[in-house]
Chain A
Amino acid sequence: MKKTLIAIATLSSLLVVPTASAEVTAYGRVIYNIVSDDTSDDLYFGRHEFAESTIGIKGSYDYEGLTIGAQVEIGLDEGVSNLLQNDSNARNRIQEIWVAGKFGKLKVGTGAAITWVVSDVDQSGTWWSDPLGMSQRFGSTRRGPGAQSQTPFVQTQSIFNERISYESPSFLDGAKFYAQLNEDSGYEFAIKYLANGWRVNAWTVDYGDADNDADPQANIDGNGSLGFFGAESGRGVLAGYKHSSGVNFTGTYGQADQLNGSERDFLNWKLGYTQGKHAVSVSMGNYNSEDASGVSGPEHNRTTLAYHFVPVGGVRVWVQATEGDTEGQNSFNAFALGGMVKF
């Protein structure tokens, strides 16, 4: 009888809406960087790519073994001075509905691509100063010479897009499978394995009609624009390990096929150490290209040092320095100072 009384006390709220519960939350963050590099006399103020300030609302509703959810997230684009950005100051990052159950999770709408989720793994604790990491992503230190900003790493991910995506339940004690169908007939597959400190991920993307949604009408007219930074497909693998001492390592390799018949590839690694409120990392990135006739292009390298300090939960400040080399010759040096406050 006592058990029944406890059940009455606990489950009486369920009588209001039988076997259902709802949860709605709001969240947001402000993130900012001041970047200096020796290719320009100016200081650059602003977000860094794909990890800008955001505000969002999400909600979920449990019903009969299913969870139905929706999420809206707005990203606040470049700095308000907009030296580099003439368009709107906001962009739609996430606008999706999803349903989850024993079968896995199905998402429909605009949101993070599975290739981004699986390839953007940085265990160093310094991800925020070098989003998507590995030093050759054009994060807070993206402002190298123009032609070097288009790195192959970003070309193997579709970041945010309109899609239907599927995420499987866990299997083999830590593995998950992902599949995604994008607009413009693009598709992506990815697999992630995480156990005992080790992780191995692999992904592939085909950009389909490859118009990157820049001008949907152009596609209808048969004048599709270039794909994602000129890529029509990409693929990559990532492996990493994190030791309980705080030492961590992540390496990744990938290739991108360009619409013009050329190819690019990258090899990145990052070694980090996290202890309490401090995180430090050193990373190197290397990328190469080959044109449609098989002639190799210049080789680019990035070496980055990053330090993060977390004074209290929700506040993070960082400094980062990056050196860029092309064909063994120093091509730029960049320095970033930034921080984030999460509400």
Chain B
Amino acid sequence: MCYLILRQRALLIFTLSLMLVCSKTSANDELSDGPGVFTGKKGEFSLSQLTASKKIESPKSSISGEEKPQEKDVSGVENEFELFKLWSHSKTEFTADYQEFLLWLKYKQYLKNN
């Protein structure tokens, strides 16, 4: 009975020792389901994007002012200033939207370089 425990613990110590002499390391990711067959790398199907793409397909409904009454005209200087304040706030807080904005800038730069 005891020899099994000893064998197991000896193997454990041996393997840990082996690992200790290894110098090259890599970070681990947390366990996850991984990618999906139909959903790609993310492994999830975005219902939000589905809704968003439908809205793009029907521009009349998006500018009618009835379905989206809170949407504003961004052509005026006043609204541009509102956008500036919003952008400034996002930059200060480093929000997810601002991070996405930075990513978009990189994308524009990539297009320019290629």
Given the known interface contacts A11-B101, A16-B71, A243-B25, the answer about A26 and B45 at a Cβ–Cβ threshold of 8 Å is yes
Question: Do B70 and A325 have beta carbons less than 8 Å apart?
Answer: no
A6 at interface by CB-CB < 8 Å: yes
Q: Is the CB–CB distance between A314 and B83 below 8 Å?
A: no
How many A-B contacts if CB must be within 8 Å? 169
- The chain A residue with its CB closest to the CB of B4 is A301
The CA of A302 and the CA of B22, in the complex, are separated in Å by 28
Is A6 a contact of B105 with CB atoms below 8 Å? yes
Given known pairs A62-B96, A244-B26, the reply for A269 and B11 (CB within 8 Å) is: yes
Task: Determine if A26 and B95 form an interchain contact, defined as CB atoms under 8 angstroms apart.
Answer: no
Among candidates A127, A269, A284, A343, residue contacting B36 with C-beta atoms closer than 8 Å = A343
Assembled-state Cα–Cα distance A150/B9 (Å): 22
Tell me, yes or no, whether B43 is within 8 Å of chain A by CB: yes
A197 at the interface (CB under 8 A from B): yes
B51–chain A nearest beta-carbon distance, Å: 8
B114 at interface (Cβ–Cβ under 8 A)? no
**CB within 8 Å for A328 and B83 given contacts A243-B19, A343-B37:** no
Q: B13 CB to closest chain A CB, in angstroms?
A: 10
Instruction: List CB contacts (< 8 Å) of B79-107 with chain A.
Output: 79-80, 82-84, 86-87, 89-90, 93, 95-97, 100-101, 104-105
B33, B35, B41, B86: the one contacting A11 at CB < 8 Å is B86
Cα A19 to Cα B91 with chains together (Å): 11
Question: Cβ of A16 and Cβ of B47 under 8 Å apart?
Answer: no
B39 at interface, CB cutoff 8 A: yes
B4–A328 CB distance below 8 A:
yes
- B95 contact set on A, CB distance < 8 A: 19, 62, 65
Which of A115-123, A182-190, A220-228 lies at the interface with chain B?
A115-123
How far in angstroms is the closest Cβ of chain B from A245?
Answer: 8
Contacts of B33 in A (CB 8 A): 27, 29, 342
The reply to whether the CB of A341 lies closer than 8 angstroms to some CB of chain B is yes
Report the nearest A residue to B79, measured CB to CB: A15
B8 pairs with A284, CB closer than 8 A = yes
In the complex, the chain B residue whose C-beta lies closest to that of A31 is: B33
B97 interface neighbour in A14, A195, A247, Cβ under 8 Å: A14
- Name the residue of chain B whose CB is nearest to the CB of A174: B27
Chain B residue contacts of A8, Cβ below 8 A: 74, 80, 83
Contact in complex: B22, A243 (CB < 8 Å): yes
Q: Is B16 an interface residue (CB 8 A)?
A: yes
How far is B90's CA from A11's CA once the two chains are assembled, in angstroms?
A: 10
In the complex, chain A residues 184-218 whose Cβ is within 8 Å of any chain B Cβ:
194-199
B-contact 0/1 string along A61-74, CB 8 Å cutoff: 01001000000000
Tell me if A21 and B46 are in contact (CB < 8 A): no
Known pairs A14-B86, A15-B74, A29-B33; A286 contacts B4 (CB<8 A) = yes
Task: Check if B83 sits within 8 Å of A12, measured CB to CB.
Answer: yes
Check A314 against B34 for contact (C-beta < 8 Å): yes
Is residue B111 within 8 Å, beta carbon to beta carbon, of the partner chain?
no
- Per a CB cutoff under 8 Å, which of B45, B84, B97 touches A27? B45
Cβ of A249 < 8 Å from any Cβ of B? yes
A294, CB-defined interface residue at 8 Å: no
**A293 close to chain B: CB less than 8 A:** no
> In the complex the two chains form, is A121's CB within 8 Å of B71's CB?
no
- List residues of chain A with CB within 8 A of the CB of B11: 269, 284
Of A7, A247, A301, the contact of B83 (CB 8 Å cutoff): A7
B110 within 8 Å of A by Cβ? no
6 pairs of residues in contact across A and B, judged by CB atoms under 8 Å: A15-B72, A21-B97, A267-B8, A299-B4, A342-B39, A342-B43
Given A8-B74, A15-B71, A239-B16, 9 other A-B contacts at CB below 8 A?
A: A12-B74, A14-B90, A15-B83, A16-B71, A197-B25, A197-B26, A198-B25, A199-B28, A249-B19
Residues of B within 8 A of A (CB): 1, 4-5, 8-9, 11-12, 15-16, 19, 22, 24-28, 31, 33-48, 68, 70-72, 74, 79-80, 82-84, 86-87, 89-90, 93, 95-97, 100-101, 104-105, 108
3 A-B pairs with the lowest CB-CB distances in the bound complex, closest first: A197-B25, A314-B37, A313-B35
